[in-house]
Amino acid sequence: MKLRDLFTQLASDAGIAADDANLTALAAKIPEDAEADDETIVKPIRENLLTVSAAENNEKIKGKFTALALNGVDATIDPVLVELLGEEGAKTFKAENKTTHKRVAKLLEQFKAQKKGGDTSEAAKTITELNNQLAQIKTTHDTELQTLKDSFARDRFYDRLKIKIVNRADVVDLAKEEDGLLALTALDKKLGAVGGVLDVNTGKIMKKEDPTLELFINNKPATVDGLLDDTLKERKYIKASNPAPTNPVEVPADDKGGQGASAAQAKMASYLKDE
């Protein structure tokens, strides 16, 4: 696969517009004949770098979080099984009902049978506790998944900032080292100093004290580009422009000893003097 095509596809997956000026400029620097090996380069990158959407539908990721949730259910019902059936009875019950879903279903059947036969207060209490535990596990799972999404979105946003910093011709090399780490760290400190937080999903700067409100500086909405420029200037990460020369320019003398005056200029000066 062409290396330039791979680069632009990965940038597109990260949410960068195909016609973004920085992207097209950077892609143009990649030689047209540069190739990326499909098996050793392209395939591993494609298999291990996921967008948020791809992560949500990835069977390995879904399986991991499902297992975490079901392990929590098992940890909740195991003591109940021992209490109801004893140690040996619990082992037999789990051997006959190997999955968590089957164990919960079987327990519910037994609780229903108890309800028909007499006092249901304990059964109802146990069912309520189980439902509460399941709800808590679902909440924890959703929170972990949202944290994963937020982390992924933040990484992609900062990847775009890194490219922007590294591609700027006016930024000193020190600030570009390690993918612009020094400049990004300074930007984060600047955000904290102005009382802002970055919404990586919208690219807006929000108030730290109330992230539902956009941050204004000097009666204008604060922007990432604006704060980045301010940060680079304050930290002196912008290259100094060359000042105009202050020494007088020496005019070379001509072959008659004049200070660069032409023959015509010398003649005119003589004429004016005679007048």
Yes or no: say if 133 and 126 are a contact pair by the CB < 8 Å rule.
no
**Tokens standing for residue 174:** 């020190």
Yes or no: say if 25 and 167 are a contact pair by the CB < 8 Å rule.
yes
**Residue 220: which H helix or E strand, with range?**
strand 220-221
- Residue-wise pLDDT for 157-203, tens only, equals 888 888 888 888 998 988 888 888 888 899 999 999 999 999 988 88
- Residue-wise pLDDT for 210-256, tens only, equals 999 999 999 999 999 999 999 999 989 898 875 545 444 454 555 55
pTM (predicted TM-score): 0.41
Whose tokens are 């990158």? That residue is 45
Domain limits of the chain? Answer: 1-49, 59-146, 170-240
- DSSP, collapsed to helix, strand or coil, labels residue 171 as strand
The residue count for the chain? 275
Backbone angles phi, psi at 199, to 5 degrees: -90, 100
Lowest mean per-residue pLDDT among 21-25, 69-73, 148-152, 250-254: 250-254
Which amino acid appears at position 100 of this protein?
Answer: T
d(CA 197, CA 227) in angstroms, rounded, equals 12
Burial label, 64 (beta-carbon count in 10 A; 0-12, 13-18, 19+): exposed
